């Protein structure tokens, strides 16, 4: 088994629970309350600001120019997602002042602090393990939503979110992340791989907590 196969096997039941969560099911059938989604979008903005820093540290720690460019590309992509006036931020008319006044929830702060600790203390491969859970799980979630409810992509509000993460364009980025992880770890020992699995499992648990945080609108 490749390293990413082992990581996904270790989180199989956990990832299955994502699509069973009421927040995700609400996106799937269009019934999710808009105030819950607004809270999620605003917390996700705060999350992405820290997530971008993890990629930036990855650039500094990369051992090859190819891997450095991979990390750097994601920072550029997230510049669009961090535009308060576009996407769902724009739909909700969220102001920069409103964002500046919002604090990250405890779950959000714990998640991003964990990823940043991995980034500062460890190397390029461990950073890949930390970011892969978020990056790839959104693709898996969105594609499962479409499988469960093909008409979900036509929802006038949530359809764009679903289509974005279920798209071939989004998947192409994850293919590169997965291939890079497997290539860099092809000669790793079982102990080294288990450490990566531990990081991946921790971040996968944080992902589930993020959905619950959004559902509860917890601080």
- Domain ranges for the chain: 3-216
Q: Are 121 and 61 in contact (CB under 8 A)?
A: no
**CATH class of the 3-216 domain in this structure:** mainly alpha
**Cα angle 25-29-32, degrees, rounded to a multiple of 5:** 65
Instruction: Compute the distance between CA of residue 89 and CA of residue 74 in angstroms, rounded to an integer.
Output: 20
Could you tell me how far CA 19 lies from the centroid of its own chain? 15
Residue 101 exposure: Cα atoms within 13 Å on the Cβ side:
5
134 belongs to the catalytic site: yes
20 belongs to the catalytic site: no
Instruction: Compute the distance between CA of residue 208 and CA of residue 23 in angstroms, rounded to an integer.
Output: 10
Q: Are 6 and 125 in contact (CB under 8 A)?
A: no
Instruction: Compute the distance between CA of residue 119 and CA of residue 117 in angstroms, rounded to an integer.
Output: 5
Catalytic residue among 124, 126, 203, 207: 207
Instruction: List the chain pLDDT tens, one digit each, 219 residues.
Output: 999 999 999 999 999 999 999 999 999 999 999 999 999 999 999 999 999 999 999 999 999 999 999 999 888 766 666 665 678 888 898 888 898 899 999 999 999 999 999 999 999 999 999 999 999 999 999 999 999 999 999 999 999 999 999 999 999 999 999 999 999 999 999 999 999 999 999 999 999 999 999 999 987
């Amino acid at each position: 088994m490749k390293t990413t196969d082992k990581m996904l096997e270790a989180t199989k039941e956990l990832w299955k629970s994502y699509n069973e969560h009421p927040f995700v099911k609400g996106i799937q059938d269009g019934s999710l309350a808009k105030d819950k989604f607004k809270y999620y979008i605003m917390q996700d903005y705060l999350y992405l600001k820290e997530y971008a820093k993890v990629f930036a540290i990855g650039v500094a720690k990369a051992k090859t120019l190819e891997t450095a460019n991979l990390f750097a590309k994601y920072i550029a992509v997230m510049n669009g997602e961090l535009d308060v006036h576009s996407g769902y931020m724009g739909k909700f008319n969220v102001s920069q002042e409103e964002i500046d006044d919002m604090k990250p929830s405890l779950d959000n702060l714990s998640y991003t602090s964990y990823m940043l600790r991995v980034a500062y203390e460890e190397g390029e491969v461990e950073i890949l393990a930390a970011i892969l859970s978020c990056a790839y799980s959104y693709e898996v979630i969105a594609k499962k939503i479409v499988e469960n409810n093909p008409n979900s992509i036509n929802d006038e509000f949530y359809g764009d979110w679903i289509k974005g993460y279920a798209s071939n364009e989004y998947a192409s980025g994850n293919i590169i992340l997965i291939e890079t992880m497997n290539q860099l770890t092809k000669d790793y020992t079982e102990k080294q791989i288990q450490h990566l699995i531990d990081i991946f499992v921790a971040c996968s648990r944080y992902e589930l907590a993020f959905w619950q945080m959004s559902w509860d609108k917890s601080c």
